Amino acid sequence: MPRKSLRPNLNQIRTWVRQGRTDAWVAHQLDVSVRDIEQFKRQNELVSDEGSSEGTIAAEYADEIDLRAEDDALIAAELEAAEIEAERARAEAQEQQAAAEEESGAEAPRARTRRRGGRGRRGLAGRGRAAAASSRNVGPLEGTFDHGEEGYGLWLDPAIQDNPIYAEHWAGHRPVEVDVEEDRIVIRRVGEDD
């Protein structure tokens, strides 16, 4: 395999050498071998014959480059990857929960016919529904109550479209009933039997 020419990267390599970057780091950035970097540095007189300038620091060079933006970009990419992984895990958990609900939904009528009343049944059934609801609900969202010349409106956080409860029961145009109380406004669907 022919070796990759490093000549187009001369200025970048020179900057990295001045910053004290290791040959291994430079080789990784350019996707070449360390031996290629060492040879290129010797050919282009980027290192003295005495070896590397181990005692020098980047502050001694006039053209020091701030690498914080590069580091911030790497951190942002890692955070985004972690966020995507968390979303994937959340979606998997929701699928597993839905499958478990379907299985338990098929068995639930038989359990109700065998047992009448009793604290044990009530506690288990309530806990199952509460756990299912909390695992599907992604948490509180922000909203804004607005009023102007055209009327009144409620603006919800766009993240609501990712909420499975909203997608199943509220998405689209639906008639609602509004109760205004001192410390809250309650919105309920109308015209549907739940």
Is 171 within a domain?
A: yes
Task: Say if residues 164 and 136 touch (Cβ distance below 8 Å).
Answer: yes
**Minimum mean pLDDT range among 2-11, 27-36, 83-92:** 2-11
What total of structural domains would you count in the chain? 3
Task: Say if residues 33 and 1 touch (Cβ distance below 8 Å).
Answer: no
Query: Does residue 177 have a pLDDT over 80?
Result: yes
- Domain holding 17, by residue range, is 7-64
CA nearest 22: which of 49, 50, 47, 59? 47
Which residues lie closer than 8 Å to 38 by C-beta, 6 or more apart?
A: 23
| Per-residue model confidence (pLDDT) at position 46 | 84
The helix (H) or strand (E) run that includes residue 152 is: strand 151-156
Domain boundary among 64, 81, 101: 64
Can you tell me the distance from the alpha carbon of 152 to that of 166, in angstroms, rounded to the nearest whole number? 21
Is 44 within a domain?
A: yes
Query: Does residue 36 have a pLDDT over 50?
Result: yes
Query: Does residue 167 have a pLDDT over 50?
Result: yes
75 and 132 co-located in one domain: yes
149 and 118 co-located in one domain: no
| Per-residue model confidence (pLDDT) at position 134 | 47
80 and 55 co-located in one domain: no
Distances (CA, A) of 20 to 60, 73, 116: 11, 21, 77
pTM listed for this prediction = 0.28
Domain boundary among 136, 156, 178: 136
Q: pLDDT tens digits for 46-105? A: 875 445 444 444 445 445 556 666 777 778 888 888 899 989 999 998 998 888 888 776
| Per-residue model confidence (pLDDT) at position 67 | 65
58 and 87 co-located in one domain: no
| Per-residue model confidence (pLDDT) at position 84 | 92
Can you tell me the distance from the alpha carbon of 41 to that of 21, in angstroms, rounded to the nearest whole number? 13
164 and 185 co-located in one domain: yes
Mean pLDDT of 119-131: 46
165 and 150 co-located in one domain: yes
Instruction: Quickly state the pLDDT bin for 192 (edges 50, 70, 90).
Output: low
Is 26 within a domain?
A: yes
Domain boundary among 37, 64, 91: 64
105 and 50 co-located in one domain: no
